A = this chain, B = another copy of it.
Amino acid sequence: MNTEHQNALAPFVDRLIARSVLTATEQEAILALPSQHVEVRARHDFVRLREEVTHSCFIASGLVARFGQSRDGLRQITAFHVPGDMADLHSAIRPIGLGGLTALCDTVLLKISHSDIRTLASQYPAVAEAFWRDCMLDAAILMEWITNIGRHDARARLAHILCEMALRYGRGCAAASYPFPVTQEQLGDAASLTSVHVNRSLRGLREEGLADVRKGKVEIMDWEGLVRAGEFDPTYLVADTAEGRQKRLLAAV
């Protein structure tokens, strides 16, 4: 345990203040959270399915997937987490139930104990509110994920995932290019497709001039086209930045 990584949490605070109002004091209190630096190798599950945990994991660098699993071991990725995300903030309030976490590439985590998070949240109601709201953004992404898996064909599913990640990497506006170190097998686990079909569908997107996914990088060639192909509506990701939504509900006067 050390406290040298205070600055490393800055992206997390940025993420929170995009959707919630936090005073300088509250922001500093978050930055001052003690954290434990942990390095995780690619393909290692650092939170197992249905395991009860005592820490939440901030992603400092790398890429993480949340997953569920069917009886026969088939994995279903339910969310990707990029640097700056607190992958399982929710576990602080409910220490079980949202699946396992696995590192898709070599990843650096900052683990923060639930008790520290709880103490902070009880001390600053506005921080609790920001945490709660952040959890609900994650839930909104989950809901969109269901619609994507359930109602789109292979091409649209992949396009949708690429759109979502572009917005999340781009912090508001879509990134034209971003690192995405996943295998086609793992993309298949996310989109409920086999790696074979992912391969053919990605080739399709490339030949259509929409996007190129290669060697752990995504290049978006035609954003509008990709949005159309994925039937992607960014409302659910960006709505909170609209004025008036950044309220201090719990810390109301």
Contact = CB atoms under 8 A, between A and B. Distances in A.
A71 interface: yes
A252 B117 CA distance: 12
Given A125-B250, A128-B129, 13 more contacts: A70-B231, A90-B139, A96-B235, A97-B136, A97-B235, A98-B140, A98-B143, A122-B125, A128-B132, A135-B135, A142-B142, A142-B146, A146-B146
A19 B240 CA distance: 29
A98 B139 contact: yes
Given A119-B252, A249-B118, A250-B128, A140 B97 contact: yes
A245 interface: yes
A139 B94 CA distance: 11
Interface string A126-155: 001101110111111011111101111000
A46 interface: no
Contacts of A84: none
This chain's copy number in the assembly: 2
A17 interface: no
Interface residues on A, range: 35 or more
A78 B147 CA distance: 8
Given A125-B125, A137-B97, A249 B69 contact: no
A197 interface: no
Contact of A147 (B68, B151, B251): B68
A93 interface: yes
